Structure formats: C-alpha cells, structure tokens
Amino acid sequence: MCGIVGGVAERSITNILIEGLKRLEYRGYDSAGLALVDHGQILRERRVGKVANLEQAVEESAIVGSLGIAHTRWATHGKPTENNAHPHISGRVAVVHNGIIENYQELKDDLEALGYNFTSQTDTEVVAHLVHEALKSTPDLLKAVEQVVPQLKGAYALGIVDTEYPDELIAVREGSPLVIGVGIGENFISSDQLALLPVTNRFIYLEEGDIARLTRETIEVFVNGQPVERPIKELDATISNATKGEFKHYMLKEIYEQPEAIQQTISQALNGNALRTDFLENAEVDFKNIKQVQIIACGTSYHAGMIGKYWFEQLSGLPCQVEIASEYRYRSPVIVADTLYVCISQSGETADTLAALRDTKKRAAEKGLNISTMTICNVATSSMVRETNHHLLTLAGPEIGVASTKAFTTQLAVLMLLILKIGQVKQAISPEKIEEITTEMWHTPKVILDTLQNDKEILRLSELFVEKQHCLFLGRGTEFPIALEGALKLKEISYIHAEGYAAGELKHGPLALVDNDMPVVILAPKDDMLDKLKSNMEEVQARGGELFVFADENSGIKNKDRQHVVNVPSVSTWLAPIIYSVPVQLLSYHVAVLRGTDVDQPRNLAKSVTVE
Ligand code: AGP
C-alpha cells in the first residue's frame, strides 16, 4: 500500500528518501516519486514501476535538496501513471498522501470553480490545491494545513512542503499511520518506521488527529491548534533485522525463521510447562467474566482466527465467533456484554479490522455494555495495539514478504497461549491438559525444523503445478482453515486459481471440478477424521484427480499412481495446524519461483492494507 517518507536536514536528503522508499517496497506499490525543495523551487521526479526507475531518474537529473517528501503509490483513484504518482504540486506546495479523501469530488468541483486545473485523477491533488488556496489568506504553512484538515473526510496521512518555508515539513495523521524519526539536527517522517532505520532508531508515534511541524532542530505536535507532548521511543535493535540474508526471497527466509519465531513467542508466556504467573496478569479480571469470544481479522489472520474458534470451543468451552472484518463492520452486528473482542493482525493497521474495532468500542460505549478488547499483533507500536485493552505480541520479527508465513504460525501459537490462559482463569482447562499442550508447544520449533527437511521433495512436486490453471486444497477440522490458507498462499504469489474446501464439502459442488488436470492438495494429520479424509481422497482419485498429500508419517497413506505423498512428522491434533502450514507455504513458494512471479511483492497486492 502507499508509503510516505520525508525529511528536513542540513545535508541533501535525496538518497535518504530513495533508500526509505526502497525499504517500503515490500508494502506493495505501482509508482513512486519525490519532491525536493531547493532554492525556492520544487524539484520533482516521478516514475511508474519500481523505485529503481525513480532512482535512475533522480541520478540523471541530479536533483538535491535538504527538505523533501517521497512516496510509493498503490493506485486507488486513477491508474498507475506518472501524472497520478505523488507528490502532487500546487504552485509553491507539494503533498504526499496515504489513504483516501472520500469527499474529494466535491472539493475538486469547488476548487475548479476557483480556477484550479487538475493534472491527475487522484484524490490527493485536492489537498495540494486546498493548502495553496488557504495560504492566500493565512500566511503560515501550519495554520493553512490546520484550516484544510477539517474539510477532508476519510482516513489519511499527509506530508506537506512549501517553497516559502524551506525549513519546515508538515505531517498529518488522521486514520493512516505516520511516525516521526528523530535525528540529530535532522528529522524525518514515514508511514513505516522501517523506512527510517538507516537514519534513526528514535521515533514519535503520531496519534489520530495530530498535526506536526518539523524543522531540523524542533518537532512540535498539535491537536486542534493546541501543542501536545508525544513521547520519543527508542526502538529495539532486533527490529532492524530486515534483510534477506542468504535467502533468495524474504518469503523463504521468513518460512525458515518460523522455529525461532515460535520459540520467541512462546517464551514470553511459558515458564517450563506452566503459564508464567505474570502472563496477561492484568487481563485476569476481564477473562473471569467473559462469556464469549468474537474474533475479527482479514486474510491470513482470519484463517488463524478460524483455527482459534475450533480451539476456543474444544478446549475452553467458550463460544467463539470469527468473522472477516470487512463484513463484520458493515452488518450492524449485535454487541453482547461480557464478550472478548479479539483483533488478529500482523500489521495492526489493516483498515477494516481497525474500523471494526473502533465501531465495536463506540457502540458498546453508547449502549453502556461492558466488553474487553484484545489485539494479537506483530507490531508493538501499531494502532490496534494502542487501541485495545490488552494485547499479545507475535514475536516473529519484521515480516516483509507480502505473503504472510511466520506471522501466521506465531498467531496460532499466541492464540493457543491465550486460550490456555483463559481456560486456566476460568478453571475450564485442567492443569494436566495445560501441561500436556505446553510440553508439545516447546517441541514445535524442532518439529518445524524436521518438516522443513521436506523442502527439496516439495520443490520437486511443485514442478508438476507450474502449468496448472487451478488447484484445490482439502482438509478437515483445523486443517480446513489450513486448506484455505494454502489456497490463498498459492493464488497470491503464483497467480494460479486455488480454492480451499472442507473435505466433507467435496460432494456438495467442487467435485465437479475434478478431472485429470486438477491437482488436489490434501492435509492429512493423524486425527479422528483421517478415515473420512481417506474416503474423500478416493472420491478425487475415482474422478482422475491427482493427489498431493501432506500426510502424517504414521497415517498409512503411501505413494501410488497419481498420488504423491510427503511425510510430515507425527504431532498432536493441537499442533497440527502450525506444522501443516509449513509444507503449503513451501509449495506455494516454489511454484511461484518456477513461474517467475514477483514472490515478495506479488502484483496488485500490498503488505499492509491501510485503505478499504
Ligand atoms: C496473506 O498472505 C496476505 N498478505 C493478507 O491476507 C493479510 O493476511 C491480510 O491483509 C491481513 O493483514 P494483517 O494481518 O496485517 O491485518
């Protein structure tokens, strides 16, 4: 999704802006641009495609400047063209923008009536003209921006410069993330702190409604025109560990990081085979009273939530609903007192999940209902973490590949820890059961390592998918969400159409798709449903389908004609979804590499979906 970088310094910041944009590439974009203020002029370059194209253009034009803003654009209003790329300029003013200005058409009509010409199809350009217009009557850039902001409807973050204010950078946060990077004699802004790690590890996280004025030496933050204090936070050095290392892609690196990520994640909650006494201590009172759980999430995080539902109900006996945030937020769900609302999100910034959380809190407050909110998240500083009563972090480290891998498996680990904690507080899970599951959780990193040993075999099988157009993934119980996740992984990075189904649904429709050109991936742990799953496999084979089975080593499922079996280490039912995620991730990865797609930044997708 769109990315913002900006800065004000004594030195030229051209290379800092380009490097920052490169670090935002993982978020997904289709064009890039920057504007520098130099000797009373705005110098701008914009290019469609990769940041490398912009970098080359900037090298050729040799533009420099110590005040500037830069942007990677993910098209929402208007196609990915050079004219639509940011920054947008209105005379002396240049603007970069993330998010959406919902009332832009109305504002555009008014501005056109005032004589402004629009050179793009974007919603952003109205902001540049509005600031330009406001500066006619308000000879102060900050005041002009403060005058414009109330006119804008939607969720957005802005970076604004003006040639008349060559030492000032204005930043606005209203529904879209923005951080200030605090330097020495220089200051920066970005929509993602990762972009600024080469220049600082000290950050101010702007809050909704904040407008900031940065100069080289000062940072002022205002709310409704009044100055406010925002703390500076120093970032943990481990978060900067965001390089590909020896791996060809971030996705592969992140798949291989899962043993360590799970180890880190469970270590925060376990002391030997018991839950640590301080684990979620503050939440105990809320947990005692909750009567049900509502999980809200999108994409892969939603699949984690689906598994959470199985676990919540089987282990703790608490009713649990799980819903896609984009549906939940618009269907006027009934808010029930004593519900624990759990948002699951790698980024903690996904627009639909965040909006669903905010609506739920607002409606509960209006009705005077007592609810608790919790975020399961990979980014400690994210909006969702800040806006929920409790949070649990997946300690997976930065996930750069658009396809979520280690964030997913650590979400599952965290969900299990949460369920054990709630079960313990409510005395719904016996100490013996907790010990049994936590013992297995400690084994998970080793079992993932063993599962990764199948990588070469999975690579060999992936060659059989390269020419395929469609694929089915089947599983039962907690492997049903893994089937959905496997299909999502395959389609998002290899562009092969894939569907995940509960294997029991096969006869109710999808069996009609099966022929000798249809690969069917089966997830077959050794559980109570194994015999039923074997019958489903027979149904596929009888119609000529080719089976690719990730099967428990003791399942008795063997290689045969048109049935390829990869043995997965034997694990308990509770851990099976974490373990079976690994082969489907590897399969999708290898198919995508063989098909030559952009694995880490697949077309049309963004890492963090901060607009609807
Ligand atoms: C999965 O591979 C995707 N990148 C996507 O479905 C993602 O999980 C979804 O956009 C939700 O993101 P979040 O976890 O950051 O909220």
DSSP 8-state symbol, 430 = -
Q: Which ligand 1 atom lies nearest to the CA of residue 405?
A: 2
Residue 612 has pLDDT above 80, yes or no: no
Same domain, 401 and 457: no
Tell me the pLDDT tens digit for each residue of 200-216: 889 999 999 999 999 99
Tell me the pLDDT tens digit for each residue of 301-315: 999 999 999 999 999
Residues 521 and 587: beta-carbon distance below 8 Å: yes
Same domain, 551 and 435: no
Q: For this structure, is 526 an active site residue?
A: no
DSSP-assigned beta bridge partners for residue 392: 376
Same domain, 231 and 257: no
Residue 454 has pLDDT above 70, yes or no: yes
Q: Where are the alpha helices (DSSP H) in 195-350?
A: 250-256, 258-267, 284-289, 299-311, 325-328
Neighbouring C-beta atoms of residue 530, cutoff 10 Å: 17
Cα 127 to Cα 91: distance, rounded to the nearest angstrom? 12
297 CA distance to ligand 1 middle (Å)? 9
Residue nearest to atom 9 of ligand 1 (CA): 299
> Quick one: how many helices (H) and strands (E) in the chain?
18, 27
Which residue in the block uniquely carries the two structure tokens 């999708």?
588
Which pLDDT belongs to residue 503?
95
Confidence grade of residue 236 (pLDDT, cut at 50, 70, 90): low
Q: What is the CATH number of the domain that holds 562?
A: 3.40.50.10490
**CB within 8 A of 68, min separation 6: which ones?**
6, 7, 13, 14, 17, 34, 35, 36, 37, 161
- pTM for the model stands at 0.79
User: Strands 470-475 and 519-524, how do they pair?
Assistant: parallel
Confidence grade of residue 96 (pLDDT, cut at 50, 70, 90): very high
Which pLDDT belongs to residue 242?
65
Residues with CB under 6 A from ligand 1: 298-301, 345-347, 350, 353, 402-404, 492, 608-609
Of 23-37, 83-97, 398-412, which gets the smallest average pLDDT? 23-37
The pLDDT > 70 percentage for the chain reads 99
Average pLDDT (217-232) is: 96
Which H/E stretch holds residue 367?
Answer: helix 351-367
Range of the domain at 174: 3-240
Average pLDDT (34-48) is: 96
Same domain, 207 and 260: no
Same domain, 465 and 599: yes
Same domain, 314 and 416: yes
Which pLDDT belongs to residue 599?
94
Same domain, 412 and 501: no
Neighbouring C-beta atoms of residue 559, cutoff 10 Å: 10
Residues 94 and 129: beta-carbon distance below 8 Å: no
Residue 606 has pLDDT above 90, yes or no: no
Tell me the pLDDT tens digit for each residue of 457-502: 999 999 999 999 999 999 999 999 999 999 999 999 999 999 999 9
Last residue of a domain, one of 400, 427, 448: 448
Same domain, 59 and 120: yes
Q: For this structure, is 607 an active site residue?
A: yes
Q: Is 600 exposed, middle or buried (0-12, 13-18, 19+ CB in 10 A)?
A: buried
Last residue of a domain, one of 182, 217, 240: 240
Which pLDDT belongs to residue 460?
97
Same domain, 223 and 302: no
Same domain, 283 and 169: no
Which pLDDT belongs to residue 241?
56
The crossing angle, in degrees rounded to 10, of helices 576-595 and 406-425 is: 170
> Which of 157 and 241 is assigned the larger pLDDT?
157
Catalytic residue, candidates 2, 343, 377, 471:
2
Residue 240 has pLDDT above 60, yes or no: no
Which H, E and C letters describe 513-544, residue by residue? Answer: HCCCCCEEEEEECCCCCHHHHHHHHHHHHHCC
Last residue of a domain, one of 240, 264, 289: 240
Average pLDDT of the chain, as a whole number: 94
Residue nearest to atom 8 of ligand 1 (CA): 300
Mutate which of 609, 611, 612 for ligand 1 pocket (most atoms within 8 A of beta carbon): 609
Backbone φ/ψ region at 99: left (φ over 0), alpha (ψ -120 to 50), beta: left
Q: Where are the alpha helices (DSSP H) in 138-278?
A: 141-148, 250-256, 258-267
Residue 238 has pLDDT above 60, yes or no: no
Cα 389 to Cα 566: distance, rounded to the nearest angstrom? 43
The pLDDT > 90 percentage for the chain reads 86
283 CA distance to ligand 1 middle (Å)? 27
137 CA distance to ligand 1 middle (Å)? 44
